[in-house]
A and B are shown apart, each in its own frame.
Chain A
Amino acid sequence: MNSLVAMWRRPVSAAGLTATSVILALATPYAADNARRIIEEVQRRTDTMSQQYEGLLQVVDAKGRVADKRWTFERLGSHGRSRSVLRFTSPAEVKGVALLIVDHADRASDQWMWTPAVERDRRIALQDRSTRFFGTDFSFEDLEERDVDQFDYTLIGEDAIDGAPCWKVGATPREAKSSQYTRSVLWIRKDNYAIARTENYVKTAITRRLDYSNLQNVQGIWTARQIDVVDLTRGSRTRLTLDKLQYNATLEDDDFTVQALRRQ
Chain B
Amino acid sequence: MLLRLITWPYVRKHALRTMLTLAGIALGVAVFVGMNSANASVLRAFSQTIDQIAGRAELQVTSGETGFAEDVLDRVQSVPSVRVAVPVIEAVADPHIRGEGSLLILGVDLIGDRNLRDYDLESGDDAVIDDPLVFLAQPDSIMLSRAFADKNHIAAGDRLTLGTAEGDRTFSVRGVMKAGGLASAFGGNLAVMDIYAAQKMFGRGRTFDRIDVALTPGRTIAESTRELETALGSGFQIAPPSGRGQQFESMIAGYSLMMNASSVFALFIGMFIIYNSFATAVSERRKEIGVLRALGASRRQVRLLFLLESAVAGLVGSLAGIIAGTFIARGIAASIGGLIHDVYGVARQAVHATATPGLLAVSLAIGIGTSMIAAWIPARAAAAVDPVRALQKGGDVSLSSGETRARLVLAAVSALGSTGCLLLDRSGALFYASYVLATLFAMLLTPFLSVGLMRLLRPLLKWVRPVEGTLAADSLIQAPRRTSGSVAALMLSFALVVAFAGMARSTYGSLVDWMNTTLNPDLFVMPSPDIAVRNVRFPSTMSDELAALPGIETVQVVRQARVVFQQTPIMLLAVDLLSIERTARARVTDGNASDMVRAGAAGKGILVSDNFAQLRRLKVGDLLELPAPAGVIRLPIVGVIVDYSDQQGSILIDRTVFQRYWNDDSVNFFRVYLASGASLADVKRRILERFAGRRQVFVLNNGELRDYILKIATQWFALTYVQVAVATLIAVLGIVNMLTVSITDRRRELGVLRAVGASNNQIRRTIWMEALCTSALGLALGYALGAINLYYALEIVRQDVAGMRLDYEFPIGVALAVMPVMFAAAFVAALWPAESAVRGSLVEALEYE
Contact = CB atoms under 8 A, between A and B. Distances in A.
Interface of A: 59, 61, 63, 65, 67, 69, 88, 93-94, 96-97, 113, 115-118, 120, 122-128, 131, 134-135, 140
Contact of A67 (B74, B111, B127): B127
B137 A128 contact: no
Interface string B116-148: 000000000011001111101111000000000
B770 interface: no
Contacts, number: 73
Interface stretch (B5-13, B192-200, B263-271): B192-200
B319 interface: no
Contact of A61 (B74, B83, B84, B130): B130
Interface SS majority for chain B: helix
Contacts of B130: 59, 61, 67, 135
Interface in B664-700: none
Contacts of B138: 93, 117
Contact of B112 (A67, A88, A127): A127
A63 B126 CA distance: 10
A215 to B, nearest CB: 29
B77 interface: yes
A93 B112 contact: no
B109 interface: yes
B84 A124 contact: no
Contacts of B134: 93-94
B196 A94 contact: no
Contacts of B18: none
The residue in B112, B133, B136, B138 that gathers the most chain A C-beta atoms within 10 A of its C-beta is: B133
Contacts of A94: 133-134, 137
A101 B136 CA distance: 19
B139 A134 contact: no
Interface of B: 73-74, 77, 83-85, 109, 111-112, 114-115, 126-127, 130-134, 136-139, 194, 196-197, 199-200
B197 A135 contact: no
A128 B134 CA distance: 18
Contacts of B114: 131
A115 B136 contact: yes
Contacts of A117: 137-139
A61 B136 contact: no
Given A131-B111, A135-B130, A118 B74 contact: no
Contacts of B139: 115, 117-118
A127 B137 contact: no
B109 A122 contact: yes
B196 A115 contact: yes
Contacts of B73: 125
B77 A134 contact: no
Contacts of A61: 126-127, 130
A134 B196 contact: no
Contact of A97 (B85, B115, B126, B133): B133
A18 to B, nearest CB: 44
By Cβ-Cβ distance, the 4 closest A-B pairs, closest first, are: A134-B133, A128-B112, A135-B131, A120-B196
B137 A125 contact: no
A134 B112 contact: no
Contacts of A115: 136-137, 139, 194, 196
A124 B137 contact: no
B127 A65 contact: yes
A73 to B, nearest CB: 16
B709 to A, nearest CB: 37
Contacts of B77: 125-127
Contacts of B112: 125, 127-128, 131
Nearest to A96: B137
A97 B136 contact: yes
A127 B85 contact: yes
B111 A118 contact: no
Given A113-B111, A126-B77, 20 more contacts: A59-B130, A67-B131, A88-B133, A93-B137, A115-B139, A116-B137, A117-B137, A118-B139, A120-B199, A120-B200, A122-B109, A127-B77, A127-B84, A127-B112, A127-B115, A128-B111, A128-B112, A134-B131, A135-B133, A140-B111
